[in-house]
A and B are shown apart, each in its own frame.
Chain A
């Protein structure tokens, strides 16, 4: 029990943070927000998955991936392909010239389902694909890069280029992917209406539990030997290699884990928002995920969630009322976080928040001692 507590929750401080986050997303948001806003928060929380994955990959591993959108997109598209096939059953699409295939294929004069769409008729296959496809893709990229000791800015650029390739491919191959609009009009999951409020509430809670699970899993990885190796690799890669560890395998592993975590976020995004489009795959979303992580704190799994929530709240609020200011603000945020608060919100909390808390504790404990004294005196 003690082992579990230390390892999964990160001791006292870690578990306080974890419980606070759980209370916020599981109780406070559902109680105080209406269905629309809650769905919005659910959407933001799906962005927290790639942000958390970047804490593992970038904060601890020192590997900056500017392509987490690739994996977010792969997970999201896998889910969307299944839902789209369900939505375009022959009865629903009887007005098309070829019934039974998704509408955008029909518009692009396709007459049969492309081969890579066929397995997505199966729910089990889709569920497996959400995890396996990004992992395999990440393994291929990671193996090719890390085995040849490509790292640092080169890796960042290559992942970014792959994100560009994937986006251009999705946009260009309209008939196979739905093009720039993405895969839309997803209504049912195994015959169950996804758009109703109760379904959305259920998805929200599934999303929250998955996120909390991912955080616990991340804690488990980081508190063990693996976490220490990651840190050592980040700071002095050569020394780890000289100690006899195969650095590239560890890097590939953490890259694959990060990819799968991002993909879960993507799949949950599709389920909650009801569509998937290339605008969540390319350069801009990928780099935004990095900024969620950086603002929240690149060394803090929980901080990354707050980072994702805060920036997205800000984005919604600002782009509604001052769309011009938002990009200035976002750019300024990038620069100031990097220059002045490299550890983000979590760093600020540790530096100043903890002091305040311990001061408050002192005040309270003094007062209680005084109370006890006065009680003792009165009796």
Chain B
């Protein structure tokens, strides 16, 4: 890092830090869904990235419909897109759980393969419907532009918006899991499935709604994703490995761990990207994670469960 003064370094860190916030938000939203599903059922959903893409394509569709038929509605469409992304991804997740996942709960490795197959089908589905070209929705005017506190630091507004959205969703998930009676049932099932069944919790129903919720959050991640990059058929698969690392690194059953690990991974990648090439930044980040995980396989914040 030679050749930079401290104030320049500070500005670089601040700027790349804000750029990393968008990545952090998307990773966190993706990882929240994945962590809920993994923590609850021990299922690795390889198609999770494709559920994100469903959300992104939904946003794109809403945007182009609004642009063509209701131009006056443009400033507000994004909120509807977020809600619709959640609903559509969630419904698809519900269907998948019903048709596929619930038959494989006893074989977690096989679920991994089956959901990979699902992701292939979904990717080809996107390609057939939307074409192989990457698409991006027209963002509402107020999302564009940036805020400049000093002349070197430049904070994009869409990053701040996405961060707010992520905070909102995280809070909602927190509330659902830890304050509602449904969350109580989910946590009971996570800790001891057989006993939960014995005290009258319908664990199958809990599984299905948890899976749908996880996929729905991935859909919101997709809507947020459209503000930082364009969407192609294979977009989801690009983010799935990073998301896995977030979940594993944070400790699978810990909400706080997921937030912390999403933040550190996104920031490390984003700040390193300034100094070395993007691909090497990714290599170093992932390599560090793998090495840390070799020494601490349970992740940063493991839940204090006896196994």
B205–chain A nearest beta-carbon distance, Å:
22
The answer to the question of B42 belonging to the interface, with a C-beta cut-off of 8 Å to chain A, is: yes
Contact between B100 and A283, CB atoms less than 8 A apart: no
Q: A165-B287, A339-B104 are in contact. Are A330 and B244 (CB under 8 A)?
A: no
Please classify the interface of chain A as helix (H, G, I), strand (E, B), loop, or mixed, using the class held by over half of its residues: helix
- Contact with A327, one of B44, B120, B289 (Cβ below 8 angstroms): B120
- Count of chain B residues with a beta carbon within 8 Å of a chain A beta carbon: 40
Contact between B109 and A165, CB atoms less than 8 A apart: no
The answer to the question of B95 belonging to the interface, with a C-beta cut-off of 8 Å to chain A, is: no
B49–chain A nearest beta-carbon distance, Å:
11
Contact between B44 and A338, CB atoms less than 8 A apart: no
Interface string of A285-313 (1 = CB under 8 A from B): 00100110010000000000000000000
Q: Which residue of A has the minimal Cβ distance to B43?
A: A153
Q: A152-B109, A161-B286, A165-B287 are in contact. Are A331 and B104 (CB under 8 A)?
A: no
A252–chain B nearest beta-carbon distance, Å:
14
A190–chain B nearest beta-carbon distance, Å:
35
Quick one: which of B270-291 are within 8 Å of A by CB? 277, 279-280, 282-283, 286-287, 289-290
Contact between B241 and A160, CB atoms less than 8 A apart: yes
Interface string of B97-124 (1 = CB under 8 A from A): 0001001100111101110111111111
Contact between B128 and A324, CB atoms less than 8 A apart: yes
- Contact with A172, one of B107, B121, B122, B279 (Cβ below 8 angstroms): B279
Contact between A157 and B44, CB atoms less than 8 A apart: yes
Contact between B44 and A153, CB atoms less than 8 A apart: yes
Please classify the interface of chain B as helix (H, G, I), strand (E, B), loop, or mixed, using the class held by over half of its residues: helix
Contact between B118 and A153, CB atoms less than 8 A apart: no
Contact between A162 and B117, CB atoms less than 8 A apart: no
Q: How many Å lie between the Cα of A135 and that of B290 in the bound state?
A: 19
Contact between A157 and B248, CB atoms less than 8 A apart: yes
Q: A156-B109, A334-B117 are in contact. Are A339 and B294 (CB under 8 A)?
A: no
List the 9 closest pairs (A to B, CB-CB), nearest first.
Answer: A334-B117, A172-B279, A331-B120, A331-B121, A327-B124, A144-B294, A335-B117, A331-B117, A338-B114
**Which residues of B are interface residues toward A (Cβ below 8 A)?**
42, 44, 100, 103-104, 107-110, 112-114, 116-124, 127-128, 237, 241, 244-245, 248, 277, 279-280, 282-283, 286-287, 289-290, 293-294, 297
Given A165-B290, A172-B283, A331-B118, 11 more pairs with CB closer than 8 A: A58-B109, A153-B42, A154-B248, A160-B244, A161-B241, A172-B280, A328-B121, A328-B124, A331-B124, A338-B107, A339-B103
